[in-house]
Amino acid sequence: MNFFVGDDLKIGIFGQSHAEAIGVVIEGLPAGRRLDLEALAAFLARRAPGRNAWSTPRKEPDAPELLSGLVEGRTCGAPLAFLIRNRDQRSGDYESLKNTPRPGHADYAAQRKYGGFQDARGGGAFSGRMTAPLCIAGGVCLQLLEEQGVSIGAHAAAIAGVEDRPFDPVSLTREQLYAVKANPFPTQDIEKAEEMCKAISLAGQEGDSVGGVIECAALGLPAGLGGPLFGGLEGRISRLVFAVPAVKGVEFGAGFASAGLRGSENNDAFCCDGERVVTRTNRHGGILGGISTGMPLLFRAAVKPTPSIAKEQETVDLSARKAATLSVGGRHDPCIVPRAVPCIEAAAAVALYDAWLDRKKEC
């Protein structure tokens, strides 16, 4: 299934970029949980475009409308359902997409999967806009996890080669996570944000785009979430994170770097911190055997450069089966990393809250 996901928490997303609406249905939440819709809107605002200089000038208020599932601010056992109306559509920009697929985009693959019946307007169901309903689901889960003492936050670890200071894998604090969320640009170091913004602007001016890496952390997770084999947190989180378009890689803890270490260098020694059992280092990224260890859960996601660029590119005219060129017009972020940061948080939150519900059955 493409639009539905989850084991204990079920998420069903619907919509296309230029359909009447997009939205999400969230089933499986316990009843009686408070939900703060303003906080949810504030979370969604972090992924909304048009907020500042480096972002696309399109205005998408993306204010979600609650359709069901809450009574007097509390979950009632029926699914939460949210709707976002689509507006400011310029279908004309996209008309020839079916015939001359954009490099780096889903156009050609979707054409082959759906036999030409896919909604090509604005990227259809492949549009980055589809991360808005994912963020609604994630925003809900973030609140429910926060209520349990779990905080999730991410930052732009790198953009266009400029690297932000990484999260400290052992001593990262909630305050540090909250600080990044409060920043206009999602880095730990303000100076790095400036450098990144410059690099993004430069690329945009040149009709090009840049990518980056997002690092995400979950603090306060109890030990014992997840499981072996297909229930492992790495696999569960990855399935959600790869739902964010443009993500091409995911690594946990030391990740690819651990491949070059020796076991004696990579293993994290256990030690006692008062009554708690912790590890001195955290190359395992808070997950061993697919299960949370109680240490900060840490992962990084690679985001490719925005495929929509003004520069001329080679493609094919599908009907004539001959070479063609194409320059992607319209308004596009030269870098989606900043807006993808809350999407990655949302993806992690959905996966972790699903694992949280699963754990309740164990007891």
Q: Which of residues 260-319 bind its own copies (CB under 8 A)?
A: 260-272, 275, 277, 279-280, 284-285, 287-294, 302-309, 311, 313-316, 318
Vertex 135 angle, CA 176 and 74, to 5°: 90
- By CB under 8 A, tell whether 139 contacts its own copies: no
Q: Smallest Cα–Cα separation from 305: which of 199, 220, 234?
A: 199
Per-residue burial over 55-93, b if 16 or more Cβ lie within 10 Å, else e, is bbebebebebeeeebbeeeebeeebbbbbbebeeeeeee
Among 130, 190, 191, 195, binds its own copies (CB under 8 A): 130
- For the chain, the first-to-last Cα distance in angstroms comes to 30
Q: Smallest Cα–Cα separation from 147: which of 76, 74, 214?
A: 74
- By CB under 8 A, tell whether 193 contacts its own copies: no
Among 25, 132, 172, 349, binds its own copies (CB under 8 A): 25
Asked whether 336 and 243 are in contact (CB, 8 A), the reply is no
Q: Which is nearer to its own copies, 178 or 265 (CB)?
A: 265
- By CB under 8 A, tell whether 151 contacts its own copies: no
Minimum CB–partner distance for residue 175 and its own copies (Å): 26
Q: Which of residues 50-79 bind its own copies (CB under 8 A)?
A: 65-69, 71, 74-79
Among 203, 217, 297, 346, binds its own copies (CB under 8 A): 203
Binding mask 32-51 for its own copies (x = CB under 8 A): x-------------------
Q: Which is nearer to its own copies, 175 or 361 (CB)?
A: 361
Among 40, 44, 97, 110, binds its own copies (CB under 8 A): 110
Q: Which is nearer to its own copies, 26 or 180 (CB)?
A: 26
Q: Smallest Cα–Cα separation from 343: which of 237, 253, 204, 203?
A: 237
Q: Which is nearer to its own copies, 179 or 289 (CB)?
A: 289
CA distance 259 to 7: 31
Beta bridge partners of 15: 22
